Amino acid sequence: MTSTTDLAAFAAVFAALFAARSVGDHWVQTHHQACAKGAPTAAGRLACAGHVLTLTVTKAAFLLAVQLVTGLQLALVAVYVGLAVDAASHYWADRRVTLAALAERLGKGGFYRLGTPRPGTDDAPHLGTGAYALDQSWHIGWLFVTALIITA
């Protein structure tokens, strides 16, 4: 049976990662990264890598804050492995074509395309759309996995 302390650690880590993901995805990420990270070019891959790097640093900072304030002890190796898994899953999804292909394969392609702006507009087609909802739910699911890894 899992102890209450283990459950509390998992909850604290997940909460920190969840908050950090929102801040990192919406406040830390630059406009350029948000618009360019899905491009099928070296510049797109670089923009995505830059976003994932700053997002991962944000998550690490939130985890550190939890540790400093609560005294929670986390194994450094588990934190590194968890954040590496999370970063890889985030990069994969944020390249966009990968998540779009998965959505198509799972019969969610129509939902993925909901709300896509007209061609030629300056809107980011992944915000406020089916693509955005699937993207964010993908990331939150991986935060759960990451919290399990970090607190295992």
C-alpha torsion sign, points 143, 58, 96, 92: negative
The answer on pLDDT for 126 being more than 70 is no
Question: How many domains, the chain?
Answer: 1
From the list 65, 87, 86, 63, the residue with the least C-alpha distance to 75 is: 63
pLDDT of 118 = 66
The answer on pLDDT for 1 being more than 60 is no
CA distance 150 to 152: 6
What average pLDDT does range 63-77 have in this prediction? Answer: 97
The answer on pLDDT for 41 being more than 90 is yes
pLDDT of 116 = 77
Q: Which two structure tokens, joined as six digits, stand for 18?
A: 């969840």
From the list 107, 147, 106, 113, the residue with the least C-alpha distance to 130 is: 113
Comparing 44-48, 112-116, 120-124, the range with the smallest average pLDDT is 120-124
Read off the pLDDT of residues 46-66 as tens digits, 9 standing for 90 and up: 999 999 999 999 999 999 999
- Domain boundaries, position 71: 4-151
- The answer to pTM > 0.75 is yes
